[in-house]
Amino acid sequence: MQEIEDWNIAVLGLGVSGRSAANFLAARGAHVCAFDERGADAIDELASLDSRVDRSLGVPFPDLRNFDLVVPSPGIPPQRYRDRSNRVWGDIELAYRAIAAPIIAVTGTNGKSTTVSLIEAMLRAAGVRARAVGNLGEPALELVGEPLDFAVLEVSSFQLETTESFRPDVGVLLNISPDHLDRHGSFDAYVKAKEALFVNQRETDCAVFNLDDPIVADRTTTTRGRVFGFRSSGAVTRGAFLDSGAVVLCDPPQAPVRISLDGMRLSGRHNQENVIAAFAAVAAAGVDPVAASSALATFTGLSHRCEFVAEIDGVRYVDDSKATNPGAALRSVAGFAAKLIWIAGGRDKGLGFAELVDTAVGHVRVAVLIGEATEKLQAALAGRVEVATAKSIEDAVAQAAKLAREGDVVLLSPACASHDQFRNFEERGDRFKAAVVALQARGGAT
């Protein structure tokens, strides 16, 4: 990236991706000033910032027109910099310009982290050097200079807002349901942000679309790349689909490949969709899907994403704290054949619960509600699903244990943000798991 040498660059925000971007740019000869409106005491790992990076902390952002480039952290809304900047690149754009390996990029409202991690596991099982980074935790720029056959990126709508030439060799769109409307302003704007994954693709690239999702299916015209469809209901001409417990991969004129899912350790129908998407991405990348399939026997998923915690008195406890919007919770609730004691609630995102409630009917025995959204959820569920309320996540687990019957699942799938009672969804999930472990130590419900 010789073009940035001697540029004056403003990095906005010193979270994980901001520090990564500032260090990357300084190491390549740019004049970097990092801005964060928090004071130094509130910023984690500030000592890891390159000594060549100037810093301005605890004061408002400056006039950004004086900089050649602005690199905002994903959490900073575009209205704070877009109209006051000469050029804007986020860390995904920077990584794209610097990573030598082909890129598989995954976006969608729900299931991104699981699918990205599964793609990484599949590629490695096939003997391919791959690493997954991006929105799931480690910054994309950490891959620069690493010897890889594929870079696998989880990309959020926030990150896609700050791309310019980003062009994944394989792009994957899992699903789209309302989320982050407070940031994007409208559902159409949110969808448009997702479309940015495909707008720069060429005929030699591949685009993997969930054809079971009508909003995603309508996006197939946004790319010039070859379209690989995937679905769990019905066949596709090119791509992957589910048939009698097996994934069928089609890419004419090659003969179809059939791979059994008998050894899959992930639970839930929504995870079945993630597996089909991962197979489609691997096949689109030209990697042997049969060799990749051995990953299914050992891949158990990620923390707080339909994570099995324990079985107590014939009742399974599952942590899906990452389900921070109604669409994610819907997929989780619908994914279990057993009756559910469903723990839900938190900070309402203003997205509406009607479709989620429709799904809960018939699946949920009792909903145990927590947090600020209790009254809104209670009103939405009234007359359709039995409701109990709890003062804390520990109280919710205790009540759920008393309400559950043998064969049931106690599912934490909040459909809401966590910030009313917890620092983040991870803390919420950890508290749920700790309460379940304590319940198990006591010998079950009392």
The rounded distance, in Å, linking the Cα atoms of 428 and 322 is 9
Helix axes 326-334, 269-284, angle to 10 degrees: 100
322 annotated active-site: no
Are the C-beta atoms of 245 and 262 separated by less than 8 Å? Answer: yes
| Distances 341 to 68, 364, 388, 402, 427 between C-alpha atoms, Å | 54, 6, 10, 10, 21
The rounded distance, in Å, linking the Cα atoms of 140 and 225 is 23
Q: Which residue is catalytic, options 23, 110, 112, 184?
A: 112
Task: State phi, psi for 153 to the nearest 5 degrees.
Answer: -115, 130
Instruction: Report which secondary-structure segment, H or E, holds 270.
Output: helix 269-284
Q: Which residue is catalytic, options 23, 110, 180, 349?
A: 180
135 annotated active-site: yes
Are the C-beta atoms of 160 and 196 separated by less than 8 Å? Answer: yes
Q: E strands of 78-155, at which residues? A: 103-107, 130-134, 150-154
The rounded distance, in Å, linking the Cα atoms of 368 and 277 is 32
Q: Are strands 364-370 and 386-389 parallel, antiparallel or unpaired?
A: parallel
The rounded distance, in Å, linking the Cα atoms of 426 and 303 is 8
* N-terminal to C-terminal alpha carbon distance within the chain: 63
Q: Which residue is catalytic, options 23, 135, 271, 274?
A: 135
363 annotated active-site: no
* Residues taking part in catalysis: 112, 135, 180
